Amino acid sequence: MSISRFFPQKNSLCKVTAMFCVAGAMALTACAGSGAEEESTVSITREGKINSHIVESFDKTYYDKDELQQRILQEAASYNRAAGEGAVSVEKVTVENGFANVEMTYGKASDYADFNNRVFFIGTAEEAQEAGYDLNTVLSSVKDEYETVGKSDILAMEDVRILITDMKEPVTLNGKAAYISGNVVADKKLKTVYFDEESEELAYILYTD
């Protein structure tokens, strides 16, 4: 993602998902005024909503915070007219120390995926298969990399959720990671997963509630 795509040489507005995509190729890390590091992140709430925190460089002379906010609000309103009120909410847009911070909430995973033109599926393995996702993959246990599961094992697991995504920013789960694909790493608490930025394959995470 890049803020510059919101201001394409001051030309007409493009769709927000193409200009300021949460799950774009760049996961920028910024040093805030306090010295703390921030980065773009996504989290899944217990209720299944998706919270997005975007951090992006905002250092061009033609950038304007009010224009940025207005464009994001316009895109959210346009999406909500089609998907239903509350599908996308813009919580906050701030600019400080040369960085923009945007906080948004999505009603469900499909809203996040559709609004940002990304892959972000959450559901059961059976639902994933019905949606057309290829489950013919091998996942490794987060506790023992030599313990693996395949398609038949995945489909037999009725008490887990599966996240399938092309994300590059970290995702905090509403549960704990159990099995992951080779382009995923989980933190020590098994709550947050990180993705290989060089991988072109979809990432798979099986997690328990």
Domains in the chain, CATH or no CATH each = 3-114 (3.30.70), 119-208 (no CATH)
Q: Would you say residue 19 has pLDDT above 70? A: no
Q: How far apart are CA 33 and CA 73, in angstroms?
A: 26
Q: Would you say residue 6 has pLDDT above 60? A: no
- Which pTM does this prediction carry? 0.83
Helices 109-116 and 65-83 cross at an angle (nearest 10°) of 120
pLDDT digits (tens, 9 = 90+) for 42-72: 999 999 999 999 998 887 777 788 888 998 9
Q: Which residue has the higher pLDDT, 99 or 207?
A: 207
Contact by Cβ (8 Å): 75, 15: yes
Q: Would you say residue 188 has pLDDT above 70? A: yes
Pairing of strands 120-123, 88-96: unpaired
Q: Would you say residue 145 has pLDDT above 60? A: yes
Q: Would you say residue 13 has pLDDT above 90? A: no
Residues 162-179 have a mean pLDDT of 97
- Burial of 146: CB neighbours in 10 Å, binned 0-12, 13-18, 19+: exposed
Q: Cα 170 to chain center, whole Å? A: 7
Tell me the average pLDDT of the chain: 85
**What pLDDT, on the 0 to 100 scale, is given for residue 36?**
40
**What pLDDT, on the 0 to 100 scale, is given for residue 59?**
77
